C-alpha cells in the first residue's frame, strides 16, 4: 500500500532548521509517531507532497521552502499586548525570544516576545518557523485506509492523531 488520498499514515520525523545550521528543532523519535490523514492538509504542504507514493518502511529526507511550510515572515506582524492577555506558564520569564500565547476572541494565538515592559510586551505573531527552510527526515511506519469517520472529520484517529 502506498500513500494517497484518504490513507492514514503513521510516521516518525526529525525536523531540522536549515536556515540555522541544520539544528534539530523537533523529533518524534523519543515519543509516539505522528498520525495524519493524507490529502486533508493535516500537515504542511511541502511534506504532504513528499509523502505521495511512499510505502511502509520507506525513509526519505526533504527540504521545504517557507512557501510550502509556515509561510514567509511578514514585517507588519508586531504588536503591543498587555501582559494580562498572555497565557503563560507559572514563573515563565518574559524575555525576547520566548514563545507565548495571546488570548484573543478567536482563541490562542502563538507569538514570540520581541521586547518586554512592565505591563505590556511587544510580540511578533509570525509563526516561529515562518521564513525558514525546513528539513524533514521521515520514516514511514504504517499506512492504512481511513475509516468513514476519519474522512468525515478530516483527520486521523488514534495515538499520535486526534483522540476523542
Ligand atoms: Zn475526529
Residue 24's pLDDT is what? 95
- Report CA(76)–ligand 1 centroid distance (Å): 35
- Report CA(152)–ligand 1 centroid distance (Å): 8
- Report CA(118)–ligand 1 centroid distance (Å): 42
Beta pairing partners, 59: 139
- Report CA(158)–ligand 1 centroid distance (Å): 9
The DSSP letter of residue 91 is T
- Report CA(6)–ligand 1 centroid distance (Å): 14
Residue 92's pLDDT is what? 82
Residue 130's pLDDT is what? 92
Q: Is the pLDDT of residue 15 over 90?
A: yes
- Report CA(157)–ligand 1 centroid distance (Å): 6
- Report CA(151)–ligand 1 centroid distance (Å): 9
- Report CA(84)–ligand 1 centroid distance (Å): 33
Are 62 and 85 within 8 A, CB to CB? no
Are 100 and 113 within 8 A, CB to CB? yes
Q: How many helices (H) and strands (E) does the chain have?
A: 2, 10
- Report CA(133)–ligand 1 centroid distance (Å): 31
Torsion over CA of 98, 99, 100 and 101, rounded to 10 degrees? Answer: 170
- The predicted model scores a pTM of 0.80
SS3 string, 102-132, reads: EEECCEEEEEEEEEECCCEEEEECCCCCCCC
Express as a percent the part of the chain with pLDDT over 70.
100
Residue 87: which residues within 8 A CB-CB, separation 6 or more?
Answer: 100, 101, 102, 103, 108
Residue 88's pLDDT is what? 83
Amino acid at each position: 500500500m502506498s500513500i494517497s488520498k484518504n490513507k492514514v499514515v503513521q510516521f516518525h520525523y526529525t525536523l531540522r532548521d536549515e536556515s540555522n545550521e541544520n539544528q534539530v528543532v523537533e523529533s518524534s523519535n523519543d515519543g509516539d509517531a505522528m498520525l495524519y490523514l493524507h490529502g486533508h492538509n493535516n500537515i504542511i504542504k511541502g511534506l504532504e507532497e513528499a509523502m505521495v507514493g511512499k510505502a511502509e518502511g520507506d525513509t526519505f529526507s526533504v527540504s521545504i521552502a517557507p512557501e510550502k511550510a509556515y509561510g514567509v515572515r511578514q514585517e507588519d506582524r508586531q504588536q503591543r499586548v498587555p501582559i494580562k492577555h498572555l497565557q503563560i506558564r507559572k514563573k515563565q520569564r518574559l524575555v525576547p525570544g520566548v514563545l507565548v500565547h495571546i488570548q484573543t476572541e478567536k482563541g490562542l494565538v502563538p507569538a514570540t516576545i520581541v521586547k518586554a515592559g512592565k505591563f505590556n510586551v511587544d510580540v511578533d505573531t509570525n509563526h516561529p518557523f515562518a521564513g525558514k527552510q525546513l528539513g524533514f527526515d521521515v520514516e514511514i511506519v504504517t499506512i492504512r485506509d481511513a475509516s468513514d469517520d476519519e474522512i468525515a472529520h478530516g483527520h486521523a484517529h488514534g495515538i499520535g492523531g486526534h483522540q476523542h
